[in-house]
Amino acid sequence: MIKKARLIKTFIDLVKIDSPSEHEDEIAKNLLSRLKKLGAKTDTDSYGNVFGFFEGIGDPFMLNSHMDTVEPGRGIKPQIKGDRIYSDGNTILGGDAKAGLTIILEALTSLVESGKKHIPINVVFTRGEESGLFGAINLNYGKLRAKQGITFDGDDDVSNVDISSPGYDRVDVTITGRGAHAGAEPERGISAIKIASEIISKLKLGRIDFETTANIGLISGGSARNAVPETVHFKGEVRSRDRKKLEKHTRHFEDVINNTMNKYPDASVNLVLEREFNPYRFEEQHPVIDKIKKAFSELKIKPNLHETGGGSDVNIFHNHGLQSIVVGIGDYEAHTTREYVVISQMVQAAEFCEKIVLA
């Protein structure tokens, strides 16, 4: 049986362990200990991802969440207020995704206590999700038996199921012009900032269509108020749930940048366009969706199948033939100091997690 008080204690204990990206060693050690006590065969890979395996009957299934948080995520002081848990307002809470870790641990604890028959379970807790999905990218997939799974890392409650996610192209641009004194001889200079502003003004940004977006999020350059800026850097992204649209809009970025640079033969550009991950889409008749719907039906939960604009470890899993899908974990306003989790929704998610792995 899922026990609310135990779930709350686990969550409080986990969020008190600092684990910003690249600093997950302590929480990894804690999670390995918890999995061992539950009877799992535990392991790690060379990147530090955590694995646990429970023998069972039937086809193996993965339960996944990530161990890292964003900043400010050190010295978190959780505050219980009714059915919600907040931080003290000076940090994030870390519900993203320690609510996911907690849900999985509570479901496994309940399952072990009950002695009920279950399918073989691969538990995977990844590092570095927030900093660039690096845990999933560097995961040793040879340690997994499962080909399908659930990733507990979504917004809202567990009924929120992400059936589609965009692909992502990273855009890094460095423009080099020619520096000069802005008051004495501006004519000798070539302003990198001016070129960058011309490029950015021509780019189609924001909401392109219902499944495609583009953004320039960072820009830096120049050396002094009275100097024609020689160098500028800007970084952006293109996302789309349609691979052809993703490729088309990334080409638009490339064309605008190159065509603008042709007007400035004495300036140069270093352009990096890199595919971080591909889009994925589940059809409603997919076996994982069917499995989720069956568990929801037994728990009287109405599924909310929707398309998201964000990426997750799941995008990388799909590149390796691992058909996982993201569900909600009762976490809200993630990545802000206003973040909170809803306890009753975490309990419901743990009930779902236990149900989905019963034999």
Catalytic (active-site) positions: 68, 129
DSSP code, position 333: S
3-state secondary structure 180-211: EECCCCHHHCECHHHHHHHHHHHCCCEEEECC
Q: How far is Cα 192 from Cα 57, in angstroms, rounded to an integer?
A: 63
For residue 346, what are the β-bridge partners?
A: none
For residue 238, what are the β-bridge partners?
A: 169, 214
H or E segment at 313?
Answer: helix 313-319
| Buried residues in 146-176 as b, exposed as e (16+ CB within 10 A) | bbbbbbbbbbbbbbbbbbbbbbbbbbebbbb
SS3 171: strand
Q: How far is Cα 270 from Cα 82, in angstroms, rounded to an integer?
A: 53
Q: How far is Cα 258 from Cα 263, in angstroms, rounded to an integer?
A: 9
Q: How far is Cα 45 from Cα 333, in angstroms, rounded to an integer?
A: 32
DSSP code, position 142: G
HSE of 131, CA atoms in CB hemisphere, 13 A = 15
Residues in the chain: 359
Q: How far is Cα 135 from Cα 144, in angstroms, rounded to an integer?
A: 14
Q: How far is Cα 103 from Cα 299, in angstroms, rounded to an integer?
A: 16
| Buried residues in 189-216 as b, exposed as e (16+ CB within 10 A) | bbbbbbbbeebbeebeeeebeebbbbeb
Contact between 335 and 92 (Cβ < 8 Å): yes
Q: How far is Cα 61 from Cα 144, in angstroms, rounded to an integer?
A: 9
Question: Residues 111, 316, 70, 203: is their CA dihedral positive or negative?
Answer: negative
Q: Extract the tokens encoding 357.
A: 């792995």
